[in-house]
Chains A and B, each alone.
Chain A
Amino acid sequence: MSYELMAVLMFTSMILMLMTGQRVFGAIGFVASVFALSLWGNGAVEMPFSSAITLLNWYPMLTLPMFVYMGYMLSESGIASDLYRMFHVWSGPMAGGLAIGTILLMVAISAMNGLSVAGMAIGATIALPELLRRNYDKVMVTGVIQAGSSLGILIPPSVVLVLYGMIARQPVGQLWLAGVFPGLMMAGMFIVYIWIRCKLQPHMGPPLSLEERQQISTGEKFRLLKAGLMPLGVILTMTVLFMSGATSLVESSAVGAALATGIAGYKRRITREVMRATLTKSLGVSCMFMWVILAALAFGAVFDGLGAVKAIEILFLDKWGLSPWEVLLLMQLTYILMGMFLDDTAMLIIVAPLYVPLIIALGFNPIWYGVLYTITCQIAYLTPPFGYNLFLMRAMAPPEITLVDIYKSVVPFVIIMITALVIIMMFPQIALWLPEHVYVGK
């Protein structure tokens, strides 16, 4: 059997195994080990375990449990909801102000958390009911929360970029820096959209009423500002330590996790339940990621051994005669399409070993592609019928938000995200300026 055919067979059997609904790591790991054994015999029995050693030696991976812990510490202890109160009070008087404040909140949470789940949880359970109570348009605010929380994987720290860095063998620090401006740009585009929309249709996002504003005294306003500034101080401390080279990437993540614990302790928010929930969830989420990565690395190694990447490259460049840019566009397109139908975590890990070597072979900058990859991933999170955030939203949102609302809500934001993607494709400097100008140690 030819290697191309084997590669196709391997890919198909993985999709079929995933369809059974078994845990993703089990399904992928199984396909990897069966193919390794049948291709190379008993000598390949150590292949799945050798990916555990690869994972062991990938130092930046330590940022994953640290930032997962930090995110849960902030949300479980209620510090993140203080932050929401601050944005609520300060941005409420503007037209659409609460929605804009929610985007700012999401940016702040994204800068303390590597995933989109924490932002989603805080957005859907704390921000959403408040916005609905103040007669914000429910379709718009549902979209705001989903789009805003998806920034979690683009604005550093980003777990997605840690995974990408591992697969693409690129420094995580550089990747994170590359995500800063695209993330802020996208947040800015969201804010402009909300502001214009609410200017044109004031009923969609009414400002806080005068009496409600008067209920909050100036003293209270500043007290909230102080409470909100504390978590922002954590971000600042981490950034300064990291950018100045005082601490490495991994050490900065430990500083962040420790500071988050410190603040929660200072505010007397650490109860037995908070600690227990934080530790248990951190373990669960970290294990989930690590085991999927473990299996995916083995899968990628076998796939690589088959020469599948070379085969795709020959197909695209020689047989179809595409230019590198056409290949890039085709890749992004297939990625978005796959994202609609595949589980996002699985997709993330399957797509990277396929596309990243190709990108490097085509002469594109792998750091820049990391940003494109992440934004595409964000879009995939949001696009129906099967987006991770869509399901989360349905699970967490109040009952008056229907599935149809959720589907409708993401449309404008997906359009904005695709626009952002195109802008960054055309102007790579948006992503690359920061990592090129700031020295970052390993």
Chain B
Amino acid sequence: MPKVIKAYVRYVDALNRRLGIAVMYLIFVMMGLLLFASLTRYVLHIPLVWVIEMSQFLMAAYYILGGPYSMQLGSHVRMDVLYERWRPKTQGFWDSLTAMVMIFYLVVLFRGGFASTVYSLEYGQRNYSAWAPLMWPIKAIMTAGIGLMILQTISIFFKDLAKFMERDIA
């Protein structure tokens, strides 16, 4: 495969891997936050109104920013009834074709996310709750994560193509 492609794959993979490894520790933050909230409520009788939403935001960041790395890990299920029996070349052929399909979906998601973020920014949209947090920061994070997911899918497309063409990509 051409050098540019190899470099792209290397950089995008490295970026998303680092991000994913950082993001996976968010689970402790969520855990700690929830424990803290139940303690303050139960022991000190102080309900923390912001905890529910904050932990929801963290979870959204967790799975969306972690998404690209989970693709690298090969965690996503496929319907492998036929797929499993194909030769690597055939798998590469279909995967590189259907990677486009996945990119299409992610681009629609991204466009929606972008429009929604812009809207929230313009009107200063807040969540309907006691805490009423501004919505644009989390939407911006989610949209950025979807963008990284697109970059990762393109990298995966190149790998699938290399598998189909039986070329080296590392």
Contacts and interface: CB of A to CB of B under 8 A. Distances in A.
Contacts of B108: 33, 37, 45, 48-49
B115 A46 contact: yes
A45 B94 contact: no
A258 B37 CA distance: 14
B130 interface: no
Contacts of A288: 70, 75-77
Mostly helix, strand, loop or mixed at chain B's interface? helix
Nearest to B37: A251
Interface stretch (A320-328, A342-350, A359-367, A372-380): A342-350
A212 B144 CA distance: 60
Interface in A294-334: 295
A285 interface: yes
A20 interface: yes
A291 interface: yes
Given A17-B101, A59-B52, A346-B79, A49 B109 contact: yes
Interface stretch (A62-70, A78-86, A94-102, A403-411): A62-70
Interface stretch (A23-31, A132-140, A226-234, A421-429): A23-31
A341 B80 CA distance: 11
B7 interface: no
Contacts of B71: 23
Given A46-B115, A282-B27, A283-B23, A23 B35 contact: no
Contact of A280 (B67, B73, B101, B111): B73
A284 B104 contact: no
A125 interface: no
B11 interface: no
Nearest to B78: A21
A24 B109 CA distance: 16
B56 A21 contact: no
Interface stretch (A50-58, A156-164, A175-183): A50-58
B91 A21 contact: yes
Given A33-B104, A284-B75, A287-B70, A386 B59 contact: no
In the complex, which range does the number of interface residues on chain A fall in? 35 or more
A26 B101 contact: yes
Interface in B34-80: 34-35, 37-38, 42, 52, 55-57, 59-60, 62-64, 66-67, 69-71, 73, 75-80
A47 B105 contact: no
Contact of B82 (A19, A32, A45): A19
B123 interface: no
B38 A246 contact: yes
B30 A65 contact: yes
Interface residues of B, number: 58
B105 A26 contact: yes
A292 to B, nearest CB: 7
A15 to B, nearest CB: 9
B31 interface: yes
A250 B52 CA distance: 9
Contact of B77 (A69, A286, A343): A343
B105 A48 contact: yes
A279 B101 contact: no
B80 A21 contact: yes
A52 B109 contact: yes
Nearest to B75: A284
A431 interface: no
A251 B32 CA distance: 10
Nearest to A251: B38
A22 interface: yes
A18 B112 contact: no
A30 B104 contact: yes
A386 B82 CA distance: 11
B147 interface: no
A65 B61 CA distance: 12
B102 A22 contact: yes
A30 B59 contact: no
A65 to B, nearest CB: 6
A208 interface: no
A115 interface: no
B63 to A, nearest CB: 4
A61 interface: yes
Given A69-B27, A287-B63, A250 B55 contact: yes
A49 B104 contact: no
A22 B153 CA distance: 12
A363 B80 CA distance: 37
A21 B142 contact: no
A21 B66 contact: no
Contacts of B67: 287, 291
B165 interface: no
Nearest to A33: B108
B57 A258 contact: no
B98 to A, nearest CB: 4
A345 B76 CA distance: 11
A349 B74 CA distance: 20
Closest 9 CB pairs of A and B: A21-B83, A49-B112, A284-B75, A26-B102, A287-B70, A254-B34, A29-B105, A22-B98, A290-B63
11 contacts: A21-B78, A22-B95, A25-B76, A26-B105, A33-B105, A37-B108, A246-B42, A247-B42, A254-B38, A279-B27, A288-B76
Given A50-B116, A52-B113, A291-B76, 6 more contacts: A21-B98, A23-B71, A46-B112, A49-B108, A52-B60, A65-B30
